[in-house]
């Protein structure tokens, strides 16, 4: 679990398998072709690097250049991922009997978020870190600890 203040106070958010389902349920039917409805594909994206795109010297003495183009990353997906993670934390809090703020429908929440002018880099870092912690914890099962104990 992580927390972020994007203009209206500190909010906790969490990424689990439930986040993927919430994200897919909300965004799979979106008309935007950049939105696949797959949290990982939309948020992390894909970078293709060809042999002509990296600068290094081959055994034959040839120079090769690598270019990583982050303009192809769907930065808007960070907002959608954060919303799904806030929704996840809200659902888990309800199941645990904890008080939590209700997360509004995505379009309403997005308008509120954009009116705060959030720090996109800080938000992207927080969302990416929580996504990796929540979904890609290779050593978690072997550690014998559950998510709360980690």
What's the pTM?
Answer: 0.73
Q: Look at residue 73 in the predicted model and tell me its pLDDT.
A: 54
Q: Look at residue 8 in the predicted model and tell me its pLDDT.
A: 72
Q: Look at residue 128 in the predicted model and tell me its pLDDT.
A: 87
Q: Look at residue 101 in the predicted model and tell me its pLDDT.
A: 85
SS3 at position 57: strand
Beta pairing class for 2-5 and 10-13: antiparallel
Phi, psi values for residue 2, rounded to 5°:
-135, 175
pLDDT tens by residue, 91-124: 999 999 998 888 999 999 998 888 887 788 788 8
Tokens of 12: 């906790």
Q: Look at residue 140 in the predicted model and tell me its pLDDT.
A: 53
Low-confidence ranges of the chain (pLDDT < 50): none
**Of 15, 74, 19, the residue nearest 46 (C-alpha):** 74
Q: Look at residue 13 in the predicted model and tell me its pLDDT.
A: 94
Rounded CA gap, 118 and 5, in Å? Answer: 9
- State the Cα angle at 91 between 89 and 92, rounded to 5°: 65
**Of 23, 22, 15, the residue nearest 133 (C-alpha):** 15
pLDDT tens by residue, 28-37: 876 777 777 8
């Amino acid at each position: 679990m992580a927390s972020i203040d994007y203009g209206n106070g500190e909010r906790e958010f969490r990424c689990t398998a439930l986040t993927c389902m919430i994200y897919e349920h909300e965004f799979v039917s979106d008309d935007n072709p950049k939105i696949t409805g797959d949290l990982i594909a939309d948020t992390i994206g894909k970078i293709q690097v060809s042999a002509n795109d990296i600068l290094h010297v081959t055994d034959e003495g040839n120079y090769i250049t690598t270019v990583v183009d982050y303009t192809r990353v769907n930065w808007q997906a960070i907002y959608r991922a954060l919303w799904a993670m806030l929704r996840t934390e809200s659902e888990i809090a309800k199941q645990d009997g904890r008080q939590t703020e209700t997360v509004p429908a995505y379009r309403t929440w997005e308008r509120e978020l954009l009116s705060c002018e959030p720090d996109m880099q800080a938000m992207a870092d927080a969302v990416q870190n929580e996504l990796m912690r929540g979904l890609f914890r290779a050593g978690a099962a072997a550690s014998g600890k559950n998510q709360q104990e980690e």
